Amino acid sequence: MDEMEEELKCPVCGSFFREPIILPCSHNICLACARNILVQTPDAESPQSSRASGSGVSDYDYLDLDKMSLYSEADSGYGSYGGFVSAPTTPCQKSPNGVRVFPPTVPPPPQAQHHLLPHTGVLPPVPRNSCLTCPQCHRSLTLDDRGLRGFPKNRVLEGVVDRYQQSKAAALKCQLCEKSPREATVMCEQCDVFYCDPCRMRCHPPRGPLAKHRLVPPAQGRISRRASPRKTSTCTEHELENLSMYCVQCKTPVCYQCLEDGKHSTHEVKALGAMWKLHKGQLSQALNVLSDRATEAKEFLVQLRNMVQHIQENGVEFEACLVAQCDALIEALNRRKAQLLSRVTKEHEHKLSVVRDQISHCTVKLRQTTGLMEYCLEVIKENDPSGFLQISDALIRRVHMTENQWGKGSLTPRMSSDFDLTLDSGPLLQTIHQLDFVQMKVPAAPILQLEECCTQTNSATLSWKQPPLSTIAVDGYILELDDGNGGQFREVYVGIEMICTVDGLHFNSTYKSRVKAFNSSGVGQYSKTLVMQTSEIAWFTFDPASAHPDIILSNDNLTVTCNSYDDRVVMGNTGFSRGVHYWEMTIDRYDNHPDPAFGVARADVMKDVMLGKDDKAWAMYVDNNRSWFMHNNSHTNRTDGGISKGATVGVLLDFCRGILLFLINDEQQGPVAFNTLEGMYYPAISLNRNVQVTLHSGLPIPDFYTPGESEAAGSVC
């Protein structure tokens, strides 16, 4: 409950709200405080407003008390929202909670200081043409004839304040004492105000209408106030009507008469009780979310308090380390200081020598120039034309020559007065600034960013980052993967980047990956292990980057031909080293009976000869009648049966058995072509301009082929 107390205090007087009203900006203020910070607008100099500036309030019609309306909600900033008369030089005061308030320049009578007209218990009238500035958001509100009565009373807040004060069970204080309220002695049931004896005699004398008021002890008044029934809210526009509906557009309760002839007649309205329950539910939901945030904040505070102890313990250790290191640095710096001072002395003497030499040289030259100038002036004074012309050309040349000598940088200092050696302190200062105790620790374990890690065919992309609160410098990262078959980890990347793509992995394999950071202090812990699955099917295309320049690719690198009559080689963009893989090539064009070759090859196979001519390729070349197997230019196993347009050539590579065999039109062509295949192989083909084929990859194993017990298309052996 103590935390709620600030919510229950008026921003102007700093005390608990009394008769709070709701401003259009949703802030609350005491009704009496609202009157105290009213400012009369300068365009109103009516007799009534003049009387309002002083104490002549008796001429007002008390039936028009507390009427206002809102004309403007423009933000006025920190305006002069002082008393009834505002002046530019009026000093600013602060309420108990720090809100700026400008008091009236003309003090109100003592009775007005207690917000009541003498002997009546009634609030004085609001000056006409007044404005009110919200003390919290500083919005300016201009009042008309309705006065403060135009603002709805916050009965909910008033009830909360009453319950809060009653729960405190403290001694009841006088509500009219401005400084150090005294203990109340009585309560007026009609005025609903607690009085001390001095305030009762001054503001509530037992005469006139006040003589009929019933005064009771404070404790009895508290009980009667608590037990008094809640007043029914009435409409601010129609004071005799109770609020019974809710205007959805204006977001305010309205009465029946407002719906009949008021501004809400065309608006959507709903039952007040239904909207009350709806808004209570919405507030409860919002409070649930806020409660979760408050719980998190409490847990966070516990964490911070625990960190205080750790910081204190670590601080002692760090201070000892700092002293030891700084002492060593200071000793080394003193030695270096002596060396640098020696160099500065030499530079100082050198600069002085150069500048003094230049001064001497410039002095001699200036003396010669001055002598020449004086001589020329004397020559100009001569009246002998012929004699002058005999020497004038030579003098003019000498003057120009001397002028040119001065213009060739002779008036520029040969030596700067600055000492360039001072720049040498930059690297040292930078090193000092870089001294950080975090360098004594190895980096924390990186965090794999799962949302950015993925696999595509037989490639894996991994991304990671440093922990959010880590300030330890990192020189680089080490990414490790296993062999995809539960084997040992191996390094696949070392560098400063925090994203890496690893190509050439095995299809249909499960890889484990992890990453660690390192700096000059050592290598940090591994991140959590990430398990990644490569594609089950070996999809690939022809690789334009490694193809012979005469090769022509189309259809997204699935169709290939050649512009040369000689055989040229093109390989697939994916290599295989494990599993069972099968792909086919359809003969789209076959002219003049050429003999294209199909098979597999190493990455460094020759590209300008038929596939199988060197020892880097294993192939079957075929014409329209027969076929041969070829490796390292060795031709074996001639088999009848050739190809034509529309034929299909299949290649089956089985690393589980280490064999390669071929098919033509879904029938095996000859025996097993090659055995004992190990390592990395790429699908390959050689052809000339008379042939065009289209690749079909990722196909299932033909039905006639029976793989081993654990073998399947693309499976790991």
What is the arithmetic mean of pLDDT over 84-113? Answer: 41
| CB contact burial 442-464 (16+ within 10 A = b; e otherwise) | bbbbbbbeeeebebebbebebbb
Instruction: Say how far residue 328 (Cα) sits from the centre of its chain.
Output: 42
Instruction: Say how far residue 666 (Cα) sits from the centre of its chain.
Output: 60
Strand residue runs (E) in 304-346: none
Give the containing element (helix H, strand E) for 260. Answer: helix 256-261
Give the containing element (helix H, strand E) for 341. Answer: helix 272-381
- Residue 622: is its pLDDT beyond 80? yes
Report d(CA 487, CA 483) in Å as an integer. Answer: 5
Q: Are 23 and 128 in contact (CB under 8 A)?
A: no
- Residue 88: is its pLDDT beyond 80? no
Instruction: Say how far residue 122 (Cα) sits from the centre of its chain.
Output: 56
- Per-residue pLDDT tens for 147-180? 777 788 888 888 888 877 776 655 678 888 988 8
- N- to C-terminal Cα distance for the chain? 71
Q: Are 695 and 595 in contact (CB under 8 A)?
A: no
- Per-residue pLDDT tens for 489-515? 999 999 999 999 998 888 888 999 999
Query: Reading across the β-sheet that carries 140-142, which strands appear in turn?
Result: 39-40, 130-133, 140-142
Q: Within 408-488, where are the H helices? A: 425-434
- Residue 642: is its pLDDT beyond 60? yes
- Per-residue pLDDT tens for 245-299? 888 888 888 887 887 776 787 888 888 888 888 888 888 888 888 888 888 888 8
> Hey, is 34 helix, strand or coil?
helix
- Which tokens in the block code for residue 55? 């104490």
Report d(CA 362, CA 353) in Å as an integer. Answer: 14
User: Alpha carbon of 671 to those of 509, 660, 685, 703: distances in Å?
Assistant: 30, 10, 20, 17
Helix/strand/coil (H/E/C) assignment for every residue in 170-228? CCCECCCCCCCCCECCEEECCCCEEECHHHHHHHCCCCHHHHHCCEECHHHHHHHHHHC
> Hey, is 158 helix, strand or coil?
helix
- Residue 555: is its pLDDT beyond 90? yes
User: Alpha carbon of 512 to those of 462, 464, 534, 671, 715: distances in Å?
Assistant: 11, 15, 11, 39, 17
- Per-residue pLDDT tens for 441-491? 788 899 999 999 999 888 899 999 998 878 888 999 999 999 888 889 999
Q: What is the largest CA-CA distance in the chain?
A: 136
Helix/strand/coil (H/E/C) assignment for every residue in 353-390? HHHHHHHHHHHHHHHHHHHHHHHHHHHHHCCCHHHHHH
Tokens 């049966």 belong to residue? 641
- Residues 6 or more apart in contact with residue 275 via CB below 8 angstroms: 246
**Residue 63: pLDDT band with limits 50, 70, 90:** very low
- The CB-side HSE value for 61 (13 A sphere, CA atoms) comes to 5
Instruction: Say how far residue 650 (Cα) sits from the centre of its chain.
Output: 55
Encoded amino acid at 532, one letter: M
- Average per-residue pLDDT for the chain: 80
- Per-residue pLDDT tens for 511-530? 999 999 998 888 999 999 99
Q: Are 484 and 511 in contact (CB under 8 A)?
A: yes
- Which tokens in the block code for residue 650? 């299949």
Task: Kindly tell me the burial class for residue 35, based on how many C-beta atoms sit within 10 Å of its own C-beta (0-12, 13-18, 19 or more).
Answer: buried
- Residues 6 or more apart in contact with residue 618 via CB below 8 angstroms: 599, 600, 601, 612, 629, 631, 660, 673, 674, 677, 681
**Among 98-112, 468-482, 630-644, which range has the highest average pLDDT?**
630-644
Task: Summarize the chain as % helix, strand, coil (round to 5).
Answer: 30, 25, 45
β-bridge pairing 617-622 and 597-601: antiparallel
- Per-residue pLDDT tens for 377-397? 988 988 888 888 888 888 898
Higher pLDDT, 242 or 638: 638
Query: Please, what sign has the CA dihedral across residues 707, 711, 716, 717?
Result: negative
Higher pLDDT, 163 or 543: 543
Higher pLDDT, 669 or 486: 669
| CB contact burial 123-139 (16+ within 10 A = b; e otherwise) | bbbbbbbbbbbbbeebb
Report d(CA 322, CA 315) in Å as an integer. Answer: 10
| pLDDT for the residue 82 | 34
Q: Are 210 and 203 in contact (CB under 8 A)?
A: no
Q: Are 71 and 163 in contact (CB under 8 A)?
A: no
Q: Are 685 and 569 in contact (CB under 8 A)?
A: yes
Report d(CA 574, CA 546) in Å as an integer. Answer: 11
| pLDDT for the residue 102 | 42
Least confident of 52-66, 105-119, 210-224, 481-495: 52-66
- Residues 6 or more apart in contact with residue 543 via CB below 8 angstroms: 557, 570, 571, 572, 573, 682
Q: Are 687 and 562 in contact (CB under 8 A)?
A: yes
> Hey, is 26 helix, strand or coil?
coil
Encoded amino acid at 241, one letter: E
Least confident of 244-258, 351-365, 639-653, 671-685: 244-258
Give the containing element (helix H, strand E) for 555. Answer: none
| CB contact burial 8-26 (16+ within 10 A = b; e otherwise) | bbbbbbebbbbbbbbbeee
- Residues 6 or more apart in contact with residue 421 via CB below 8 angstroms: 340, 343, 344, 347
Q: What is the DSSP letter of 655?
A: T
- Residue 92: is its pLDDT beyond 60? no
- Residues 6 or more apart in contact with residue 140 via CB below 8 angstroms: 72, 73, 74, 75, 76, 79, 81, 131, 132, 133
**Residue 127: pLDDT band with limits 50, 70, 90:** low
What angle do the packed helices 218-227 and 155-168 form, to 10 degrees? 140
User: Percent of the chain beyond pLDDT 70?
Assistant: 81
- Per-residue pLDDT tens for 206-239? 888 888 898 988 866 665 555 445 556 777 777 7
Report d(CA 592, CA 595) in Å as an integer. Answer: 10
